[in-house]
Structures are given as C-alpha cells and as structure tokens.
C-alpha cells in the first residue's frame, strides 16, 4: 500500500509555496489525523515504511522507542503524526527507513554516498552548474523552462485552496486516486525535461536521477520484505507514488492494495 502525502508542515523546498497552512496541532486536525491512522490500521500492515534514509534509522529507532515510553513529543512531520502513531496503534516495535538519494549522470555523482561526507548545500553547489536550467541559459533554450509551469501552478493553487475546506482523509483520498497520482508525475516530463539538442539530453538525464532514487526506494522495500504474507505500508511524498506504483504493479512479487479503498474514494 502506497500512501502519498503532502508535507503536513511545509519545508519550503518545493517550487510551489503553499498559501494555506495545515494546523497540525489544532483539535480539528488532530482528530482528522487520528481518523486516517485508524483507517490505515484496518489494512493490518506488518511493516510501516517511512521517507527517511537508512542512515537515519538509528535516530528514528531511538525516537520511536522514546515515543512508546511517553518520552518523545511528536513533531508536525507526517513521519511522526502518521508513521509513529500508526506503528504504536499496531503494536509495532519500530518503523522502517526506506528513503534513498539518486545517482546523476552529469556530474557523475551518487548522492547516496556523497551525502555521507558532504552537506546538502555542498551537493547542491556541485549539481548547480549541470541543471537543465543552466544548459538552457547557455544554449538559448530558456523559453522551454516555463511552458507548462503556469498550468501546474494553477493546479497547485486549486489544490492548496482545498486545504481549509477538506478533511485530511478527503485530501489524501483525492491526491492518491490513480488518475491524480499519474498527473502528479507530469511536471517531471515537461519544461526542463525537454531541454537539449542533438545528442545532448541534459533534461532527460537530470530526471533520470529522480527515477533512480525511486528505484532505490523500491529496492529498499524489497529488502525489508521477509515473508510471503508481508503487508507493507509506505508513507512517502506524493510525487514518488507514480514511479513506485509502476514498480509494484510490474513486480511479480507484490500486489498493490489501493489506499483509497481504506481512505474512502472521493
């Protein structure tokens, strides 16, 4: 089961900056979170996987054990509000970190290993000169960069405006509907993706790292699968779902359980 989520507490890392906040600790939202956790529990997952890297597993384990003892205060992060709370509801001893970072063609850097010795800022500085945007500026293709962005910006604004009017269950049911999961992947295939000419494909090569990252996440899901009757629930950013959905559907080892069957399709 794949649960694509928006960041309950926006981190400011995405291109679109939400204008409507989600007050996680309000009485209303806490009740909504409890409802979603209860609905997910009906799936009966044997493992709850979260969007944290393997290198963070030790910290997550310590925080989770402290939470079970009543000695850890949950943050607004969906990892805590959904992952930790669901794990406790199910009586699990821990949750599983399956996030990964991707490998780039140009520059040839594997962020999974690079970040073991360097900061995120150093990684961003290394990659900056090789982005599709940098290529476009150098080759007169800047017009390609924003052909579709106004469309997706309006779509984000419409979705953002629903935050105040809908419950968390409704928001997640809508965004996780199959049609919307595919739509969320669209921005990766336009604008910067089309940058390049001749035998140069800087846009496509850049997006390859995103595919690589998600394939590694799927590999990590395989690594935590230890039994034929395993029932895994992955809680992850909504943008990951399209590729992971393809992996699950194509794999002969897994069956996809639709999260909307438990959230209630809208």
Given a contact cutoff of 8 angstroms between Cβ atoms, the answer to whether 109 and 127 are in contact is yes
Given a contact cutoff of 8 angstroms between Cβ atoms, the answer to whether 122 and 87 are in contact is no
Q: How confident is the model at residue 164 (pLDDT cuts 50, 70, 90)?
A: confident
* pLDDT score of 21 more than 80: no
Q: What is the pTM of this model?
A: 0.94
pLDDT at residue 227 in the model: 94
Helix axis angle for 168-175 and 27-41, nearest 10°, is 50
What pairs with residue 235 in β-bridges? Answer: 3, 50
% the chain with pLDDT above 70? 95
pLDDT at residue 16 in the model: 53
pLDDT at residue 161 in the model: 82
232-260 pLDDT per residue, tens: 999 999 999 999 999 999 999 999 999 99
d(CA 176, CA 3): 7
90-99 pLDDT per residue, tens: 999 999 999 9
What is the dihedral angle through the alpha carbons of 108, 111, 116, 121, rounded to the nearest 10 degrees? 100
d(CA 152, CA 175): 14
């Amino acid at each position: 089961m794949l649960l694509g989520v928006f960041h309950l507490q926006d981190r400011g890392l995405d291109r679109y900056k939400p204008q409507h906040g989600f007050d996680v600790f309000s009485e209303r939202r806490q009740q909504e979170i409890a409802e979603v956790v209860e609905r997910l529990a009906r799936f009966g997952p044997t493992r709850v996987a979260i969007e944290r890297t393997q290198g963070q597993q030790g910290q997550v384990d310590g925080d989770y054990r402290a939470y079970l003892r009543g000695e850890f205060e949950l943050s607004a992060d969906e990892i805590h509000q959904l992952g930790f709370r669901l794990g406790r509801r199910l009586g699990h001893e821990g949750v599983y970190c399956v996030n990964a970072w991707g490998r780039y063609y140009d520059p040839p850097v594997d962020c999974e290993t690079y970040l073991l010795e360097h900061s995120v800022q150093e990684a961003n500085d290394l990659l900056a000169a090789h982005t599709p945007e940098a290529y476009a500026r150098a080759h007169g293709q800047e017009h390609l960069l924003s052909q579709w962005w106004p469309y997706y910006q309006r779509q984000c604004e419409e979705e953002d405006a629903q935050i105040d009017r809908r419950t968390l269950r409704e928001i997640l049911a809508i965004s996780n509907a199959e049609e919307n999961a595919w739509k969320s992947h669209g921005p990766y295939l336009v604008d910067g993706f089309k940058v390049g000419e001749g035998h140069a494909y800087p846009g496509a090569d850049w997006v390859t790292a995103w595919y690589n990252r998600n394939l590694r996440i799927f590999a990590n899901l395989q690594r935590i699968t230890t039994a034929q009757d395993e029932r895994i629930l992955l809680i992850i950013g909504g943008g990951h779902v399209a590729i992971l959905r393809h992996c699950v559907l194509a794999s002969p080892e897994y069956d996809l359980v639709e999260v909307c069957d438990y959230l209630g399709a809208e």
